[in-house]
């Protein structure tokens, strides 16, 4: 009996939940982000497909989104509503087998049988019946293939990607089409003459190990070959990090004020972590300079800690690694667990 991995991804999730609450918005460009005021600083969390047609996407500043799509409806983020909708979806998915949650809007499932498309269609129908939300289902022989198949099946479709079709579908794509390769890595690979998935799969792992490290180099070759040995686990989703961040409506150009804000964020984050009972192994500070350049630096405490004072000290140590003292529009502090 064949073993398959399915990746379920809810289409335009936050926007879709908001449209269910406000049916009159269906067919209109909807943007969810910040407190819903595009005149204020903030970024897009999700945009409906109608808004995406104007170049609006996640992570875009709200003010830029408003310029690109002036007729869009802007709505604030409502975490509790999205969490409740996500919980209903995940409960529905568990009717079909082992579920590994990746976040609010996506999950992997492990299924057996020779008809994964039929299972995928039943999942789509069941999720819609239970929640009125649409989803796309990617099918693969492993998690990597299923995850990438979902992007090829959107919106609201089903797509299968396997060993046999991997290079026909993805071979000519740039390396950052792969799950796990970002723009910086793709740029480094391109400088080495490796600009497609096929070329990366054919690269010498030893050569890549010399540039990216003994673990990452060979992994990049396996990734480009569509290989993934990780299994779907039904264990509860445990975040690998927790963070706090704030976008300031007025620039912080006094770095004494920046330090005070980072210390405050670190203390608030420590309060959030009190119930986690997991030691923090690294603290990362994010600084978004004016107008929109983002940098991060981290600091590793001498020993993993749950102490608020130690988390604050680590955040301030990370802040000291920023060489530029330009005006700041956003600060964030993230705790990573061991």
Identify whether 291 is preceded by a cis peptide bond (ω within 30 of 0): yes
Concerning whether 106 is annotated as a catalytic residue, the answer is: yes
Q: CA angle at residue 133 from 127 to 139, to 5 degrees?
A: 55
Is 152 in contact with 138 (CB distance < 8 Å)?
A: yes
* CA proximity to 172, closest of 152, 191, 198, 148: 198
* Cβ neighbours, 10 Å, residue 27: 10
Q: Which of 50, 100, 101, 106 is catalytic?
A: 106
Is 268 in contact with 241 (CB distance < 8 Å)?
A: no
φ, ψ dihedrals at 37, nearest 5°:
-110, 105
Q: Count CA within 13 A, CB hemisphere, residue 199.
A: 14
How far apart (Å, rounded) are the C-alpha atoms in residues 40 and 62? 7
- Any idea what DSSP says for residue 63? H
Q: Which residues are the active-site residues?
A: 106
């Amino acid at each position: 009996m064949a073993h398959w991995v399915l990746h379920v991804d809810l289409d335009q999730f936050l926007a879709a939940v908001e449209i269910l609450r406000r049916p009159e918005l269906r067919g209109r460009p909807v943007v969810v982000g910040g407190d819903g005021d595009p005149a204020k600083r903030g970024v897009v969390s999700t945009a409906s497909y109608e808004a995406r047609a104007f170049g609006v996407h996640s992570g875009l500043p709200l003010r830029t989104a408003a310029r690109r799509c002036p007729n869009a409806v802007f709505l604030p983020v409502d975490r509790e509503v999205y969490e409740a909708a996500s919980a209903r979806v995940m409960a529905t998915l568990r009717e079909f087998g082992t579920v590994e949650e990746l976040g609010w809007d996506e999950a992997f499932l492990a299924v057996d049988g020779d008809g994964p498309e039929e299972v995928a269609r039943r999942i789509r129908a069941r999720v819609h019946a239970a929640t009125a939300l649409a989803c796309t289902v990617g099918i693969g022989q492993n998690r990597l293939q299923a995850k990438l198949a979902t992007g090829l099946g959107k919106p609201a479709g089903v797509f299968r990607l396997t060993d046999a079709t991997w290079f026909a579908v993805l071979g000519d794509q740039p390396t950052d089409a792969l799950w796990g390769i970002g723009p910086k890595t793709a740029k480094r690979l391109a400088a080495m003459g490796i600009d497609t998935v096929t070329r990366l799969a054919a690269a010498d792992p030893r050569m890549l190990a010399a540039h990216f490290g003994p673990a990452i180099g060979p992994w990049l070759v396996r990734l480009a070959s569509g290989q993934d040995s990780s299994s779907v686990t039904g264990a509860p989703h445990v975040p690998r990090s927790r963070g706090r961040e704030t976008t300031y409506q007025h620039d912080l150009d006094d770095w004494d004020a920046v330090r005070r804000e980072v210390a405050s964020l670190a203390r608030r984050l420590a309060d959030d972590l009190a119930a986690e009972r997991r030691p923090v192994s690294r603290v990362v500070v994010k600084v978004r300079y004016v107008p929109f350049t983002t940098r991060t630096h981290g600091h590793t405490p001498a020993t993993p800690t749950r102490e608020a004072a130690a988390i604050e000290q680590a955040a301030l140590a990370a802040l000291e690694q920023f060489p530029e003292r330009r005006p700041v529009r956003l600060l964030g502090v993230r705790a990573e667990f061991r």
